[in-house]
């Protein structure tokens, strides 16, 4: 399976964790967990920082807490029509952090450090898929 469906612009067609896109298409947020040291990663990784190549896929809740964020008013040509948009770093309940756009459903005045969010897959035109941080419902 190709990694070419992920994101708005693709730079990598294939990867050792190509099933990541398949899981997103199924509405699942999946990370990896090292069988040696138990560290959890998102997006999934084939190898761990402890140099173990033995990882397993685990489904994450998607529940996050916002650590920091920034709003962009200028962007590369590939996403220039999306400005302004907000990018955030959030920490999953399971431990790892994620760097992702915040949903435009969230009003700028509602954004604050520590807010509860949910990482969810989002389908884009052209059979593309991304993930974004959305408000907890």
Query: Is pLDDT above 50 for 1?
Result: no
Kindly report, residue by residue over 122-136, the tens digit of the pLDDT. Answer: 998 888 889 999 999
Q: Domains in the chain, start-ordered, CATH in brackets?
A: 3-135 (2.40.50.840)
Report pLDDT digits (tens) over 46-83. 888 888 878 899 999 999 999 999 999 987 777 777 88
**Length of the chain counted residue by residue:** 137
Q: Tokens 């990482």 sit at which residue?
A: 119
User: Is-contact 64 118, C-beta < 8 A?
Assistant: yes
DSSP state of 103: P
pTM beyond 0.85, yes or no: no
Q: How far is 37 from 49, CA to CA, in rounded Å?
A: 9
DSSP tag of 42: S
Of 125, 105, 128, nearest to 115 by C-alpha is 105
């Amino acid at each position: 399976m190709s990694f070419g469906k992920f994101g708005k612009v693709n730079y990598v067609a294939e990867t050792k964790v190509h099933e990541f896109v398949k899981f997103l298409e199924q509405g699942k947020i999946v990370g990896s967990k090292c069988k040696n040291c138990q560290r959890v990663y998102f997006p999934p990784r084939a190898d761990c920082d402890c140099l173990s190549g033995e990882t397993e896929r685990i489904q994450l809740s998607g529940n996050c807490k916002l650590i920091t964020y920034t709003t962009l008013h200028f962007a590369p040509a590939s996403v220039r029509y999306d400005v302004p948009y907000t990018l955030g770093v959030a920490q999953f309940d399971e431990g790892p952090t994620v760097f992702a756009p915040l949903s435009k459903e969230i009003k700028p005045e509602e954004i604050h450090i520590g807010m509860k969010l949910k990482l969810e897959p989002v389908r884009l035109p052209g059979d593309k898929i991304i993930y974004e941080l959305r408000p907890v419902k």
